[in-house]
Amino acid sequence: MQNLEAFRELMSSPRNVVITTHPKPDADALGSSLGLAGYLKKKNHKVQSDHAYGLS
């Protein structure tokens, strides 16, 4: 639980976040990374995603 609390503290103020997937991402990888990006943007983080080779 300490790690989770440390992560929450780290993400409590806006950050620059990069989200990546594995090469040739499948629908699960794309969906989860896009969902996470949307959530983080709503929390005022600056999000960049590469979706393993160029999709953003």
For residue 54, pLDDT over 70 is answered with no
For residue 53, pLDDT over 60 is answered with no
Residue pLDDT, tens place only, 6-49: 989 999 999 999 999 888 888 999 999 999 999 999 999 999 98
CA distance 2 to 22: 28
Q: DSSP letter string over the chain?
A: -HHHHHHHHHTTS--EEEE---SS--HHHHHHHHHHHHHHHHTT-EEEE-TTTT--
Indicate the domain borders of the chain: 2-49
CA distance 7 to 56: 25
Whether the model clears a pTM of 0.85, i.e. scores above it, the answer is no
8 and 37 in contact (C-beta within 8 Å)?
no
